[in-house]
């Protein structure tokens, strides 16, 4: 019989050894949380190491992701496909043990963590997804969606502002199956936290409406006492009314005679001598990376996991017999497949719009698209950081998840942009949903790192940003984005769509819903297609409709296409996006009337255009034509890669100003006349010959 402490010491040893081998990493947290992890994974977590994708598994998130060796040790010991060689090669290129846990690199990692606080937000997303999916699919006697979400958080996570945003919302939404365990070790990188973190965390979370679990006399639970931890978790999981926070007092670097309780164990290898001393103190008499068979055996979750999944499969079979249509729909949703009629119906909607040619703001076109696509896609789980009447993300079928029961499909996130965006990542990773969230483009900065994480993970999230330029008018420079478009386009693996009219708006939604990206595993040898994010950028002001042939409508999906040209013998190209496409066409038509033939390229998504074949790109932007003008009411700097040294960009070089829209465009020189003049000037100066 192995003891709890021996099993926990296996984690401690692997963490010390892994970090020592890499001479880089964070041993302190895994050593401090090992006893807690032993109880969570040994006594509570329902999971199947042989099938990390079992949809009804409990979710586990390591929000304090610097302690990645803790998670790798757990996955290895419980029997996931993560061998000792991977642990020996912690943090090395091509191995499944990245510096911080990465989704899709390692079986059993539910989300990428490391940016502190966001794992907690992802966990809130998992819990929302579980609850909404359960409301939709469960039937009396058939709880096929029924799991917990466990998340470890450290001082750093709870200091981060995002922890306030998401914990406040989780309390309001009463996410009873969310269990957060706080590693209250009193240490962060700079030392003992008493000079920078003195909140009363228990009172803070009680005020949010959480079930705060502590020990006797309101003292934290002893995070090194297995039975006390077990009692605390049992009390958390015995109720479904409120999210739980279990506060555990721990000693960072537990077991290291000279480094435990000190910041020196946080983020550096302990050193060979200290490791030897630690082994002695822990009574762990095995060599580096050596785990005795009886410890492996007592840790293995394979048999229990297979049994748990089998029992669920039987439950699901009974559900499928009683509710065959629901069961089929559940399977479709979990697999991320789009409905059979999606392709035809969405194309038909786009074709209809092209015919009808509504002149509306693209935010309105976005809402019209939601009205058309929403009924086809029950997996759409919308939301907005307040502002829904402005960003028009509520469609006819939207129902608040807090009150909508089985029909719930909209989250009122309140004014919490960062929390919302990181929660969306969690919802997407849970499965069963394509989440979209929304705010003004200028506040994408508040959400920024979560958008970056959408792209890195990748998570199939649609970030909707309206009020996309000085075109929003009177709210002035605090609300007028300038650098945001370029900056979002710089994030690898992003797709940023800025449509020019209602038709392009519908296509951008379609592409975002269908978006998948090729993702390689840690070895770089095996790839799979995973859902991936997009940002949809919409205007406040009305936009003209553009006539198009059927082929042009199809080409919108390519991110850039020839929208209009005076003749094949054009002398210059104007590239434009969104609200400036109308202006570009006007300029080109006026030039044409004066005998200057110009081509207009609408470029709603530069990344999508860049992903096309060289032949296609050359067909749209022939290299012989260096007389190029870009026009976009945003930072001009982004456009140099398309217009080169010979071209001219018309757009913004400063912040905006507070005034009505027509005054602003004139004030900042984004006008038809300016485009006409720029075209004439580049035709003069640029060497453009076939």
Ligand X SMILES: Cc1ncc(C[n+]2csc(CCOP(=O)(O)OP(=O)(O)O)c2C)c(N)n1
Active site residues: 417
Q: Which of ligand X, Mg ion, none does 28 bind, CB closer than 5 to 8 A by kind?
A: ligand X
- Is 248 a residue that touches Mg ion (CB under 5 A)? no
592 Cβ neighbours under 8 A, 6+ residues apart: 566, 567, 598
- Is 156 a residue that touches ligand X (CB under 6 A)? yes
Closest CA to 558 of 635, 480, 618, 470: 618
3 state SS of 609? helix
Helices (H), 300-385: 302-322, 324-335, 342-356, 362-373
Cβ 30 to ligand X shortest distance, Å: 9
Which conformational region is residue 209 in: left (phi greater than 0), alpha (psi within -120 to 50 degrees), or beta? left
- Is 30 a residue that touches ligand X (CB under 6 A)? no
Q: At what angle do helices 118-137 and 417-430 cross, to 10 degrees?
A: 50
- Is 29 a residue that touches ligand X (CB under 6 A)? yes
DSSP 400: B
- Is 270 a residue that touches ligand X (CB under 6 A)? no
* Structure-derived torsion over alpha carbons of residues 359, 364, 365, 371, reported in degrees to the nearest 10: -130
Query: Which residue is nearest to ligand X, using beta carbons?
Result: 154
Name which of 411 and 453 has its Cβ closer to ligand X: 453
E strands present in 380-471:
380-384, 410-412, 434-440, 462-466
Stretch 45-84 residues interacting with ligand X (CB under 6 A): 64, 66
Q: Which of ligand X, Mg ion, none does 530 bind, CB closer than 5 to 8 A by kind?
A: none
Q: Which of ligand X, Mg ion, none does 223 bind, CB closer than 5 to 8 A by kind?
A: none
- Is 37 a residue that touches Mg ion (CB under 5 A)? no
551 Cβ neighbours under 8 A, 6+ residues apart: none
Name which of 265 and 384 has its Cβ closer to ligand X: 265
Cα gap 633→472, rounded to integer Å: 11
- Residue 123 structure tokens: 């966990």
Cβ 155 to ligand X shortest distance, Å: 3
Cβ 189 to ligand X shortest distance, Å: 5
Query: Which of 84, 189, 322, 415 contacts ligand X by CB under 6 A?
Result: 189
Cα gap 675→582, rounded to integer Å: 12
Cα gap 367→116, rounded to integer Å: 34
Name which of 118 and 688 has its Cβ closer to ligand X: 118
- Is 101 a residue that touches ligand X (CB under 6 A)? no
Q: How many residues bind ligand X (CB under 6 A)?
A: 19
Cβ 67 to ligand X shortest distance, Å: 6
Cα gap 226→248, rounded to integer Å: 11
Query: Which of 15, 75, 187, 482 contacts Mg ion by CB under 5 A?
Result: 187
Cβ 187 to ligand X shortest distance, Å: 5
- Is 266 a residue that touches ligand X (CB under 6 A)? yes
Name which of 39 and 187 has its Cβ closer to Mg ion: 187
Q: Which of ligand X, Mg ion, none does 115 bind, CB closer than 5 to 8 A by kind?
A: ligand X
Stretch 545-604 residues interacting with Mg ion (CB under 5 A): none
Query: Which of 25, 101, 108, 154 contacts Mg ion by CB under 5 A?
Result: 154
- Is 155 a residue that touches Mg ion (CB under 5 A)? yes
Query: Which of 9, 168, 188, 424 contacts ligand X by CB under 6 A?
Result: 188
Cβ 513 to Mg ion shortest distance, Å: 41
Rounded to 5 degrees, φ, ψ at 500 are: -95, -20
DSSP symbols for 493-517: T--EE--SSHHHHHHHHHHHHH-EE
DSSP3 helix / strand / coil % (the chain, rounded to 5): 45, 15, 40
Query: Which of 114, 382, 431, 533 contacts ligand X by CB under 6 A?
Result: 114
Rounded to 5 degrees, φ, ψ at 211 are: -90, 105
Cβ 325 to ligand X shortest distance, Å: 45
DSSP symbols for 212-246: EE--GGGPPEETT-HHHHHHHHHHHHT--SS-EEE
Cβ 178 to ligand X shortest distance, Å: 19
- Is 168 a residue that touches Mg ion (CB under 5 A)? no
Cα gap 153→272, rounded to integer Å: 29
Using the contact rule CB under 6 A, the part of the chain among 8-16, 17-25, 154-162, 373-381 near ligand X is 154-162
Say which residue the tokens 């055996």 belong to: 297
Name which of 7 and 66 has its Cβ closer to Mg ion: 66
Closest CA to 370 of 354, 400, 393, 346: 393
- Is 252 a residue that touches ligand X (CB under 6 A)? yes
Cross-strand partners of 527: 520
Binding mask 158-177 for ligand X (x = CB under 6 A): --x-----------------
- Is 116 a residue that touches ligand X (CB under 6 A)? yes
Query: Which of 169, 187, 291, 353 contacts ligand X by CB under 6 A?
Result: 187
Cα gap 264→457, rounded to integer Å: 31
Cβ 210 to ligand X shortest distance, Å: 19
Stretch 487-526 residues interacting with ligand X (CB under 6 A): none
Cα gap 662→206, rounded to integer Å: 51
Footprint on this chain of Mg ion (rule: CB under 5 A)? 154-155, 185, 187-188
Footprint on this chain of ligand X (rule: CB under 6 A)? 28-29, 64, 66, 114-116, 154-157, 160, 183, 185, 187-189, 252, 266
């Amino acid at each position: 019989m192995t003891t709890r402490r021996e099993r926990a010491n296996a984690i401690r040893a692997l963490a010390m050894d892994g970090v020592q081998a890499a001479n880089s990493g964070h041993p302190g947290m895994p050593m401090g949380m090992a006893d807690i992890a032993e109880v969570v994974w040994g006594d509570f977590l329902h999971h199947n190491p042989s099938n990390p994708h079992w949809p009804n598994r409990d979710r586990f998130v390591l929000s304090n992701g610097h302690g990645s060796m803790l998670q790798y040790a757990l996955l290895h010991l419980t029997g996931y496909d993560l061998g000792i060689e991977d642990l020996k090669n912690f943090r090395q290129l091509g191995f499944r043990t990245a510096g911080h846990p990465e989704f899709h690199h390692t079986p059993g990692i539910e989300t990428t963590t490391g940016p502190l606080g966001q794992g907690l937000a992802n966990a809130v997303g998992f819990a929302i997804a579980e609850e909404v999916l359960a409301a939709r699919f469960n039937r009396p006697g058939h709880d096929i969606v029924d799991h917990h979400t466990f998340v470890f958080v450290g001082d750093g996570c709870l200091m981060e502002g995002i922890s306030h945003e998401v914990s406040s919302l989780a309390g309001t939404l009463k996410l009873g199956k969310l269990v957060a365990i706080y590693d209250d070790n009193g240490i962060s990188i700079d030392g003992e936290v008493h000079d920078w973190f003195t909140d009363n965390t228990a009172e803070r979370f009680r005020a949010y409406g959480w079930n705060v679990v502590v020990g006797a006399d309101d003292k934290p639970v002893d995070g090194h006492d297995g039975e006390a931890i077990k009692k605390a978790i049992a009390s958390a999981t015995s109720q479904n009314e409120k999210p739980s926070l279990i506060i555990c007092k721990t000693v960072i670097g537990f077991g290291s005679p000279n480094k435990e309780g000190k910041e020196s164990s946080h983020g550096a290898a302990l050193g060979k001598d200290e490791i030897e001393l630690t082994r002695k103190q822990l009574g762990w008499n095995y060599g580096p990376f050596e785990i005795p068979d009886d410890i492996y055996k007592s840790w293995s979750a394979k048999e229990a996991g297979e049994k748990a999944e089998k029992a669920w499969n039987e439950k699901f079979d009974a559900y499928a017999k009683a509710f065959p249509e629901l069961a089929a729909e559940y399977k479709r949703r979990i697999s991320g497949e789009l409905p059979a009629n999606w392709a035809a119906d969405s194309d038909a909607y786009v074709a209809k719009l092209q015919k009808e040619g509504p002149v509306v703001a693209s935010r309105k076109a976005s809402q019209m698209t939601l009205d058309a696509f929403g009924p086809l896609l029950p997996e759409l789980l919308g939301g907005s950081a307040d502002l829904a009447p402005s960003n028009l993300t509520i469609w006819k079928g939207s129902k608040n998840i807090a009150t909508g029961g089985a029909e719930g499909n909209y989250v009122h996130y309140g004014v919490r942009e960062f929390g919302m965006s990181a929660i969306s990542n969690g919802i997407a990773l849970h499965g069963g949903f394509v989440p979209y969230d929304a705010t003004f483009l200028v506040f994408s900065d508040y959400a920024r790192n979560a958008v970056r994480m959408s792209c890195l993970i990748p998570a199939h999230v649609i970030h909707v940003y309206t009020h996309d330029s000085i075109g929003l008018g009177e709210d002035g420079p605090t609300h007028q984005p300038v650098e945001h478009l370029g900056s979002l386009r710089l994030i690898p693996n992003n797709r940023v769509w800025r449509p020019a009219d209602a038709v392009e708006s519908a296509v951008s939604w379609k592409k975002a819903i269908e978006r998948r990206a090729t993702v390689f595993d840690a070895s770089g040898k095996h790839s799979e297609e995973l859902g991936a994010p997009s940002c949809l950028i919409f205007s406040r002001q009305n936009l003209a409709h553009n006539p198009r042939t059927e082929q042009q409508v199809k080409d919108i999906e390519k991110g850039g296409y020839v929208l209009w040209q005076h003749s094949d013998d054009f002398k210059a190209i104007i590239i434009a996006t969104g609200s400036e496409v109308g202006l570009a066409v006007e300029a080109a038509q006026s030039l044409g009337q004066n005998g200057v033939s110009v081509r207009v390229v609408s470029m709603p998504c530069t990344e999508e255009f860049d992903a096309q074949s060289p032949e296609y790109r050359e067909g749209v932007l022939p290299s012989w034509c260096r007389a190029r003008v870009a026009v976009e009411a945003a930072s001009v700097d982004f456009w140099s890669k398309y217009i080169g040294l010979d071209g001219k960009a018309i757009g913004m070089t400063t912040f905006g100003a507070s005034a009505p829209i027509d005054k602003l465009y004139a004030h900042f020189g984004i006008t038809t006349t300016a485009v006409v003049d720029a075209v004439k000037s580049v035709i003069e100066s640029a060497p453009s010959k076939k």
